[in-house]
């Protein structure tokens, strides 16, 4: 190996290796970590110092007595080592003669569904571990379902611990028969069962002699021959989400991104979405010289033949076969946060390079991942999987995630939901299809614009959004403000919480979800009124920041003016004009803001009124002054 000629030949071989990503599913007891440890060991990815550390660790935490515990090698974080469980996704790397591998090692327990989905999202193949003594278990079904859900098309059923059943053929075949029935039920088309032993290494990297009756491939042989999703992606129509516009100077304008599917050459005709503009690719620019062609998976920079408008979030597609755009969808959602889904609340939705506000309806049903039963669900909790409708605040370019007989559309079909306040990734999802009503309802172009409406009234529209605790004085102050504005000849309208609840929103209660819908509707009405040129005043407790921000985003910049009527809870409770606090304290009123439901005070309200310092009249004068100053 030391001779330069040898190493050059070896390196040439390395250069042409492909990359396969796979996931291993199973729990600690199934010998999953041991199997991975074996793969690393038998393909010589372990170094002496790692083995020495492993031996020392084996003595301290090991479960294998004096033997080397390969599992310890794979379980990374110290908390995990102490508990003897894997709690996150860990990535491992090894290589065989033909391919390099990235293994996502994920935990098996039901409470780690999110980790498994994370690991599966980038995998070409899933290795399902089944303990030869226990056979196909509930968790085997769960793992198969989740892998199938994320679009994995190649499965290996690794029947482990064959040494513990004396390498018997019957045990293996019984498990295969059992799994076959289940695979048919959920539509797993392609699976290969392999009997293995982590302890002896049989049928992992080498065949071994213990199971002469088995004539299929070893695990490693199988991994070397499975078709790659990247190759399937390359055969689909061209798609590239624009990531970044490269504009170093006046003379160059390039569009950068990673090709999601298909291939592209200079002079190919492409369509830019959502605008629909058609142009041709001029150059595929690269540091080492322009490319003649680029394929799925490559990160590239293009220039176009025409000066076209194109920016981050747009999708460049094959001109004759573009993807759709829509704003209402059905999707599978995997909830990943401790805080449950709040139907109707606005979340950030990121799909490809598009970022929009999305709301999720109450789920149609939740799937029991163990039995695949459909259950009614008002919301989604951590690790639950549901089918729900999603609406986005503008159209997004997408493709259905799952594709019959081909690789999934991961880039334009997979999305994440992000909490707008904590910025946490709270869910991931896979789009099924656009709802027909979304495709058929087109926005009507209006000839009389909002500017015309406003000009006719001689004023700039605004929404004065009063927020604060019940009894803070919102309605009183808003009334005074409206009187003063009308006296100055302004066209106004006051939407009051109690009044709206008698009409438009009389079907809504006071649960978190209903309160959000209440605010959403009021926001939409306020927006329509502002469109017609009015100065709108609204007086609603509106306790959640996320919903107030949602309304702010419905309006043009500067038209939403948040007025925080700041009255301490004790003071509001002391006034208790409607006797509501007393009822809430007595437990007669549920979900009462400030008592058993939170109030999230504004952090940057345009106007803050301290009612312990100002009278209602003084407050109204201050607000009118501030509003007129803004004109």
Partner 1 sequence: MRSLTHLDRLEAESIHILRETVAEAAKPVMLYSIGKDSSVMLHLAKKAFFPGPLPFPLLHVDTTWKFRDMYTLRDTVAADPAIELIVYKNPEAEAQGINPFDHGPLHTDMWKTEGLKQALDHYGFDAAFGGARRDEEKSRAKERIFSFRDKNHRWDPKRQRPELWSLYNVRKAKGESMRVFPLSNWTELDVWEYVLREKIDIVPLYFAAERPTVERDGLILMVDDERMPLGDEAPVTRKVRFRTLGCYPLSGAIVSEARTIEEIIAEMLVSTSSEREGRAIDRDGGSASMEKKKQEGYF
Q: Which of 234, 240, 331, 534 binds partner 1 (CB under 8 A)?
A: 234
CA distance linking residue 412 with residue 393, whole number of Å: 17
β-pair type (125-131, 18-25): parallel
CA distance linking residue 366 with residue 577, whole number of Å: 43
459 binds partner 1 (CB under 8 A): no
Find tokens 């994995």 and name the residue: 152
Residues 348-367 that bind partner 1 (CB under 8 A): 348, 350-353
Residues 247-276 that bind partner 1 (CB under 8 A): 247-248, 252, 254, 256-258
Stretch that binds partner 1, among 226-234, 364-372, 457-465, 503-511 (CB under 8 A): 226-234
Q: Based on CB atoms, which residue is closest to partner 1, 121 or 611?
A: 121
Rounded to the nearest whole angstrom, what is the least distance from the CB of residue 516 to partner 1 in the complex?
Answer: 21
200 binds partner 1 (CB under 8 A): no
Q: Which of 38, 92, 520, 548 binds partner 1 (CB under 8 A)?
A: 92
Rounded to the nearest whole angstrom, what is the least distance from the CB of residue 235 to partner 1 in the complex?
Answer: 8
- 159: helix, strand or coil: strand
CA distance linking residue 86 with residue 119, whole number of Å: 13
Binding residue count for partner 1, defined by CB under 8 A? 78
Q: Which of 8, 364, 374, 578 binds partner 1 (CB under 8 A)?
A: 8
DSSP state, residue 340: P
Rounded to the nearest whole angstrom, what is the least distance from the CB of residue 117 to partner 1 in the complex?
Answer: 7
Q: Which of 243, 368, 381, 406 binds partner 1 (CB under 8 A)?
A: 243
E strand or H helix at 177: helix 169-186
Residues 399-418 that bind partner 1 (CB under 8 A): 410-411, 414-416, 418
CA distance linking residue 472 with residue 543, whole number of Å: 13
CA distance linking residue 602 with residue 562, whole number of Å: 8
Per-residue contact string for residues 43-62; x = within reach of partner 1 by CB under 8 A:
----xxxx--x---x-----
Q: Is 107 in contact with 88 (CB distance < 8 Å)? A: yes
Q: Which of 196, 317, 336, 624 binds partner 1 (CB under 8 A)?
A: 336
Token output for 621: 């004068």
The candidate with the shortest Cα–Cα distance to 378, out of 361, 390, 358, 392, is: 361
575 binds partner 1 (CB under 8 A): no
12 binds partner 1 (CB under 8 A): no
Q: Is 367 in contact with 386 (CB distance < 8 Å)? A: yes
423 binds partner 1 (CB under 8 A): yes
295 binds partner 1 (CB under 8 A): yes
432 binds partner 1 (CB under 8 A): no
Rounded to the nearest whole angstrom, what is the least distance from the CB of residue 91 to partner 1 in the complex?
Answer: 5
Q: Based on CB atoms, which residue is closest to partner 1, 47 or 66?
A: 47
CA distance linking residue 456 with residue 269, whole number of Å: 47
- 473: helix, strand or coil: coil
CA distance linking residue 556 with residue 550, whole number of Å: 12
Residues 475-534 that bind partner 1 (CB under 8 A): none
Stretch that binds partner 1, among 112-120, 371-379, 454-462, 520-528 (CB under 8 A): 112-120
**Residues classed as catalytic:** 542
Residue 480: how many CB atoms within 10 A of its CB?
Answer: 20
Q: Which of 83, 93, 111, 133 binds partner 1 (CB under 8 A)?
A: 93
Q: Is 515 in contact with 599 (CB distance < 8 Å)? A: no
Q: Based on CB atoms, which residue is closest to partner 1, 111 or 449?
A: 111
535 binds partner 1 (CB under 8 A): no
11 binds partner 1 (CB under 8 A): yes
Query: What is the b/e burial string over 433-442, where b = at least 16 CB atoms within 10 angstroms of the residue's CB?
Result: bbbeebeeee
End-to-end CA distance of the chain: give it in Å, rounded.
Answer: 79
228 binds partner 1 (CB under 8 A): yes
Token output for 44: 């010589």
1 binds partner 1 (CB under 8 A): yes
301 binds partner 1 (CB under 8 A): yes
298 binds partner 1 (CB under 8 A): yes
Beta bridge partners of 560: 463
For residue 305, whether the previous peptide bond is cis, meaning omega lies within 30 degrees of 0, is: no
Stretch that binds partner 1, among 128-136, 168-176, 244-252, 470-478 (CB under 8 A): 244-252
Find tokens 């498990």 and name the residue: 175
Could you tell me how far CA 198 lies from the centroid of its own chain?
35
CA distance linking residue 527 with residue 80, whole number of Å: 52
Rounded to the nearest whole angstrom, what is the least distance from the CB of residue 256 to partner 1 in the complex?
Answer: 6
Rounded to the nearest whole angstrom, what is the least distance from the CB of residue 231 to partner 1 in the complex?
Answer: 6
Q: Which of 55, 76, 96, 525 binds partner 1 (CB under 8 A)?
A: 76
Q: Which of 59, 63, 77, 458 binds partner 1 (CB under 8 A)?
A: 77
Q: Based on CB atoms, which residue is closest to partner 1, 99 or 277?
A: 99
Dihedral sign for Cα atoms in the order 313, 347, 509, 593: negative
Q: Is 465 in contact with 627 (CB distance < 8 Å)? A: no
Residues 120-159 that bind partner 1 (CB under 8 A): 121-122
Q: Which of 286, 441, 446, 486 binds partner 1 (CB under 8 A)?
A: 286
């Amino acid at each position: 190996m030391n001779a330069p000629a040898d190493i050059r030949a070896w390196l040439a071989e390395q250069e042409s290796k492909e990359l396969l990503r796979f996931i291993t599913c199973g729990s600690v007891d199934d010998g999953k970590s041991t199997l991975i440890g074996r793969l690393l060991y038998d393909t010589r990815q372990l170094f002496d110092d790692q083995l020495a550390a492993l031996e020392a660790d084996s003595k301290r935490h090991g479960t294998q007595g004096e033997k080397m515990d390969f599992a310890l090698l794979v379980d990374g974080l110290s908390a995990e080592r102490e508990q003897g469980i894997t709690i996150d996704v860990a990535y491992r790397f090894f290589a065989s003669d033909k391919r390099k591998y990235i293994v996502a090692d994920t935990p098996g327990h039901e409470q780690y569904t999110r980790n498994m989905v994370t690991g599966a999202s980038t995998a070409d193949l899933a290795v399902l571990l089944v303990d030869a003594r226990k056979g196909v278990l509930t968790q085997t079904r769960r793992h198969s379902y989740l892998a199938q859900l994320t679009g994995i098309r190649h499965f290996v059923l690794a029947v482990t611990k064959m040494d513990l059943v004396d390498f018997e053929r019957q045990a293996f075949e019984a498990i295969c028969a059992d799994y076959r029935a289940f695979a048919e039920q959920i539509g797993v088309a392609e699976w290969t069962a392999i009997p293995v032993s982590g302890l002896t290494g049989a049928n992992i990297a080498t065949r071994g002699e213990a199971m002469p009756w088995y004539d299929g491939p070893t695990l490693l042989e199988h991994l070397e021959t499975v078709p790659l999703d990247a190759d399937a992606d390359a055969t689909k129509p061209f798609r590239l989400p624009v990531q970044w516009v490269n504009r170093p100077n006046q003379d160059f304008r390039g569009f950068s991104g990673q090709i999601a599917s298909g291939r592209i050459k200079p002079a190919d005709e492409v369509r830019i979405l959502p605008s629909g503009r058609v142009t041709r690719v001029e150059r595929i620019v690269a540091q080492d010289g322009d490319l003649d062609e680029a394929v799925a998976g490559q990160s590239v920079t293009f220039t176009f033949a025409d000066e076209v408008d194109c920016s981050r979030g747009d999708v460049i597609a094959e001109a004759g076969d573009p993807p759709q755009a829509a704003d209402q969808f059905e999707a599978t959602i995997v909830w990943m946060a401790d805080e449950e889904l709040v139907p109707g609340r606005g979340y950030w939705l990121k799909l490809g390079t598009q970022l929009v506000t999305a709301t999720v309806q109450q789920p149609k049903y939740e799937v029991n991942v163990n039995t695949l039963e459909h259950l009614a669900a008002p919301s989604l909790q951590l690790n639950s999987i549901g089918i729900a409708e999603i609406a986005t605040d503008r159209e997004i370019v997408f493709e259905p995630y799952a594709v019959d007989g081909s690789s999934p559309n991961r880039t334009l079909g997979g999305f994440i939901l992000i909490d707008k306040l904590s910025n946490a990734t709270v869910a991931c999802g896979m789009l099924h299809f656009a709802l027909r009503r979304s495709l058929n309802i087109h926005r009507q172009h209006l000839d009389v614009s909002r500017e015309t409406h406003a000009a006719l009234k001689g004023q700039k529209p605004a929404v004065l959004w009063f927020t604060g605790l019940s009894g803070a004085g919102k309605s009183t102050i808003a009334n005074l403000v409206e009187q003063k504005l009308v006296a100055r000849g302004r066209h106004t309208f006051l939407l009051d919480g109690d009044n709206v609840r008698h009409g438009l929103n009389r079907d809504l209660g006071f649960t978190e979800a209903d309160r959000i819908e209440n605010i959403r509707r009021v926001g939409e009405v306020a927006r329509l009124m502002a469109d017609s040129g009015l100065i709108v005043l609204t007086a609603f407790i509106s306790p959640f920041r996320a919903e107030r921000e949602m309304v702010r985003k419905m309006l043009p910049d500067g038209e939403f003016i948040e007025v925080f009527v700041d009255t301490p809870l004790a003071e509001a409770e002391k006034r208790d004009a409607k006797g509501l606090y007393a009822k809430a304290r007595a437990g007669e009123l549920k979900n009462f803001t400030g008592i058993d439901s939170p109030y999230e005070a504004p952090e940057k309200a345009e106007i803050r009124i301290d009612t312990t310092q100002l009278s209602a009249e003084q407050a109204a004068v201050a607000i009118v002054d501030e509003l007129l100053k803004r004109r």
